[in-house]
Amino acid sequence: MLKGIIHIKEGKKIEEYKEELGKQLNELNKLITLAEKRLRKEKNIDKRTVSTSTRRSGYQYYIQEGGKRKYVKAKDIWYVRDIMQRDYDENVHRALIIQRNRIDRFLKLYDVSSIVKAYDELSDARKQLITPLISTNEQYIEEWRRKYPECQNTFPEQGAYITARGEKVRSKSEKIIADLFDRYRIPYVYEPSLDMGNGHVLYPDFAVLNVPYRKTFFWEHFGLISDSTYAKKTLKKMNMYEECGFSVGRNVLFSMESEDSPLNTKLLERKIRSYLL
C-alpha cells in the first residue's frame, strides 16, 4: 500500500494514508493475536468478578458472589490478580477488534484517487467546458516531467543502448528496465538530478511515477554488485539515501545483478506491479 499525494491547483494537497493505515492494521492484528494467546491460557480462571475499596493503608479486594462480596486476604491476592488480568485482557481484546474492524471498513471505502477520476471519467465534450479543481493525470505527468528533467548526469557515457522510446541509456539492463516501464505505461525519466539537501546531488538511474497515487520513486539499478569497488560505491549511495530521509520501498526502489545472478525480469515486473500501478 502506498502513501500518495494529490495536489490541488491552489497548492494544497490531499494525502493518501492507505499505507499508514495498513501498518496500523498489521499492528492491531499482532496485538489481537497476543491477546487471544493470553485469553486461551486464562479460559479456566474463576468467572466471578472483583471489586475494590480504598483504605488508608492501600486497597482491599473482594470477590463478588451472589450479590455479596467476600474479602480477599493478602495471601490470596494472586487469585484476584488472575481474575483482574483476565478481565483486562478481555476488554483490550474487544477494543482491538473494534478498532481493527473500523479501519478495515474504512480502507474498503477509502479511495483518494476517486477525486481525480471525477474529471478523468467525464466525456471529452464536458471536459472542454470544465476547469478541474485538481489537475488531470496528463497535466500532472507533464508538470512532473518538468520537475525532473532527464539526462542530468554528465558522467561520460560508456556504450549507449537505445530504448523503445528512442533514448540512450548506459547499459543493456537499463534498456530492459526502461522498456518495462514503457510497456506498463509508467512515466519515467532517465538520470534526473536529485538534490539531497546536504550539499550533495545524486543522479538516480530513473525517476518513476505512480500515477494513481501521484507518488514519485527513484529507481536505482546496481549492475556490478559482485565487483568489490562497485559494491562499496553502492553501499555509500544507499547510505546517503537513508541519511537524507529516503528509504527502500517508501520512495526508493532498486534492482541488481551480478555475474552469477543475471537481471531477473520477473522480479522487476513484480516490483512494478506492487509499487507503480
Average pLDDT estimate for 34-59: 90
Whether 14 has a pLDDT exceeding 70, the answer reads: no
Query: Same domain for 75 and 202?
Result: no
Q: What is the pLDDT of residue 20?
A: 83
Residue 216 falls within a domain, yes or no? yes
On the 0-12 / 13-18 / 19+ scale of CB atoms within 10 A, 96 is: buried
Residue 3 falls within a domain, yes or no? no
Q: What is the pLDDT of residue 2?
A: 46
Q: Residues 6 or more apart from 24 whose CB is under 8 A from it? A: 103
On the 0-12 / 13-18 / 19+ scale of CB atoms within 10 A, 114 is: exposed
Residue 10 falls within a domain, yes or no? no
Query: Same domain for 97 and 210?
Result: no
Residue 130 falls within a domain, yes or no? no
Query: Same domain for 150 and 243?
Result: yes
pLDDT digits (tens, 9 = 90+) for 230-244: 777 778 878 888 777
Write out the three cell numbers for 51: 471489586
Residue 129 falls within a domain, yes or no? no
Q: Which of 194, 178, 197 is nearest to 186 (CA)?
A: 178
% of residues, the chain, pLDDT over 90: 26
Whether 229 has a pLDDT exceeding 80, the answer reads: no
Q: CA–CA separation, 258 vs 271, rounded Å?
A: 19
Q: What is the pLDDT of residue 5?
A: 53
Q: What is the pLDDT of residue 188?
A: 93
Using the CB atoms, write b or e for 29-49: b if 16+ within 10 Å. eebbeebeeeeeeeeebeeee
Choice between 190 and 19, residue whose per-residue pLDDT is larger: 190
Query: Same domain for 36 and 97?
Result: yes
Residue 122 falls within a domain, yes or no? no
How many helices (H) and strands (E) the chain has is answered by: 8, 13
Query: Same domain for 72 and 171?
Result: no
Query: Same domain for 143 and 271?
Result: yes
Query: Same domain for 172 and 269?
Result: yes
Among 117-121, 217-221, 222-226, 255-259, the minimum mean pLDDT is found in 222-226
Query: Same domain for 188 and 86?
Result: no
Domain count, the chain: 2
Q: What share of the chain is helix, strand, coil (3-state, %, to 5)?
A: 45, 20, 35
Q: What is the pLDDT of residue 15?
A: 61
Query: Same domain for 207 and 153?
Result: yes
Residue 8 falls within a domain, yes or no? no
Give the CATH number of the domain where residue 254 resides: 3.40.1350
**Domain ranges, residue 173:** 136-275
Choice between 87 and 65, residue whose per-residue pLDDT is larger: 87
Residue 184 falls within a domain, yes or no? yes
Query: Same domain for 160 and 244?
Result: yes
Indicate the residue among 74, 109, 144 that finishes a domain: 109
pTM: 0.57
